[in-house]
Amino acid sequence: MSCRCLSIIDRYLCSSRSALLRNWSSTKVAYRALFINCLFWLLIGIPLLIFTNPITVSVTRIVCNFSNQYFGNYYAYFLNPVAYFVTPSLIMSIFSIGTYKNLRVMIRTPHVGAQRRIEQQFILMIIIQSVVFTISSLPNGIRLAYTIATSSVQKSAYRVAQEGLFYEVALISYFISSGSSFYIFICLSKDVRSVVLEKIRKRPSILVTVKQNRVGPSINNQLMVGANMNKSFTGISATVTK
């Protein structure tokens, strides 16, 4: 999720008409951004190891519960909605709009080349990915807002079951964006489609080549092995007779 945010930011920077912003799209800056990203999530994860305890619900089920109520409220009402929904959605929406504007400027330029065309396709795919992520994250965002709004409400078992079903549906919708990248690339990029089709066409020939290159015993080898076995058995029989 955070890597997608960094990706759309990088696409915005490299497609900008400003030379100052384009200079920020470099390998050196990318390494630093990835390091800061890993450090950020590491610092978020350390308190979870400290303030959570495993609780055995049944023989086959173990859940984690917060040992500190204040940290539990902070995680449920602030960190979870902000870090997993609000911030990524805002970043992707803002930079997708900016990248789309830059893309329109690039399309209007008279210079057209193969590298330029591939770059435009890639930027368009990143924008569509951001839109899919924002839409698929909406049910999870609604669930988080609903959980916060009804935290002090007494709930029946039937209502808890309904909320559990909605939670699972929202979670599935949230992870749709993770599996949609391949289909987005296939639908929007002619180059990606050609590469995939080429790999599919080559697959049967690869299987045939593997089958033809398999090493198996020939008839002559089988006859030689049989003759050697007969000699061995004859020698053993002669020894026993003596």
Rounded mean pLDDT for each run of 10 residues along the chain, 242 residues in total = 83 85 88 92 87 76 78 81 84 85 71 62 76 81 77 81 86 78 79 81 59 49 46 43 41
Q: What is the CATH number of the domain that holds 175?
A: 1.20.1070.10
Residue 215 lies inside a defined structural domain of this protein: no
Number of domains in the chain: 1
Residue 229 lies inside a defined structural domain of this protein: no
To 10 degrees, what angle do helices 87-108 and 2-14 make? 30
Domain of 136, in residue numbers: 2-205
Q: Can you give the pLDDT at residue 115?
A: 59
Site of tokens 């409220």: 73
Q: Can you give the pLDDT at residue 38?
A: 92
Residue 62 lies inside a defined structural domain of this protein: yes
Residue 225 lies inside a defined structural domain of this protein: no
Instruction: Give dist(CA 106, CA 26) in Å, integer.
Output: 20
Neighbours of 133 (CB within 10 A): 24
Residue 193 lies inside a defined structural domain of this protein: yes
- By C-alpha distance, which of 207, 189, 188 is closest to 199? 207
The first and second tokens of residue 149, run together, are: 């709004």
Site of tokens 């599919």: 200
Q: Can you give the pLDDT at residue 33?
A: 92
Q: How far, rounded to the nearest angstrom, does the alpha carbon of residue 22 sit from its chain's CA centroid?
A: 27
DSSP code for 17: S
